[in-house]
């Protein structure tokens, strides 16, 4: 299985997508979008910005758990990772997004 974007509808009729690694693990979750079209634009933005290391924020949660964000050129966060056990694991997550986002297929689950 290759990496893929899964686009879903939320319980309040908004849209969110996840980038899944080839093993099915979520490696990036989007912000919530008000329309299907803007969610699709968000996916394109992830594909565009994913290869650029400078677009990643390497952060730590209040409990010390490392995570990352991916930002668009305008500085807006377009995706966030899960919490990781350490900085090395977080950096591997960034590498996974960099390597797989551009070629990831789209699975639109909003029609079902």
pTM score, two decimals? 0.92
More confident residue, 73 or 7: 7
Q: What letters, b where the CB count within 10 A reaches 16 and e where it falls short, cover 63-87?
A: eeebbbbbbeeeeeebbbbeebeee
What's the burial of 43, exposed, middle or buried (CB within 10 Å: 0-12/13-18/19+)? Answer: buried
Helix or strand run (H / E) with residue 30: strand 26-30
**Are 19 and 46 contacting, i.e. CB atoms less than 8 angstroms apart?**
yes
The pLDDT score that the predictor gives to residue 111 is 74
Mean pLDDT of 60-85: 95
Query: On the CB side of 2, how many CA atoms lie within 13 Å of its CA?
Result: 11
Mean pLDDT of 78-105: 96
Residue-wise pLDDT for 34-49, tens only, equals 999 999 999 999 999 9
**Architecture of 4-108 per CATH?**
Roll (2.30)
The pLDDT score that the predictor gives to residue 96 is 95
**Confidence band (pLDDT; 50, 70, 90) for 112?**
low
Report d(CA 58, CA 48) in Å as an integer. Answer: 19
Distance of CA 70 to the CA centre of its chain: 7
Helix or strand run (H / E) with residue 98: helix 87-100
């Amino acid at each position: 299985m290759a990496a893929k974007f899964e686009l879903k509808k939320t319980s309040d009729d908004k849209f969110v997508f996840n980038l899944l690694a080839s093993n099915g693990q979520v490696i990036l979750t989007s912000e919530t979008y008000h329309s299907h079209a803007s969610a699709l634009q968000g996916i394109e933005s992830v594909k565009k910005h994913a290869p650029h290391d400078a677009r990643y924020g390497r952060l730590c949660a209040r409990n010390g758990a490392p995570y990352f964000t991916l930002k668009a050129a305008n500085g807006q966060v377009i995706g966030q990772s899960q919490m990781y056990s350490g900085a090395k694991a977080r950096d591997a997550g960034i590498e996974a997004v960099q390597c797989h986002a551009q070629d990831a297929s789209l699975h639109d689950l909003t029609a079902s």
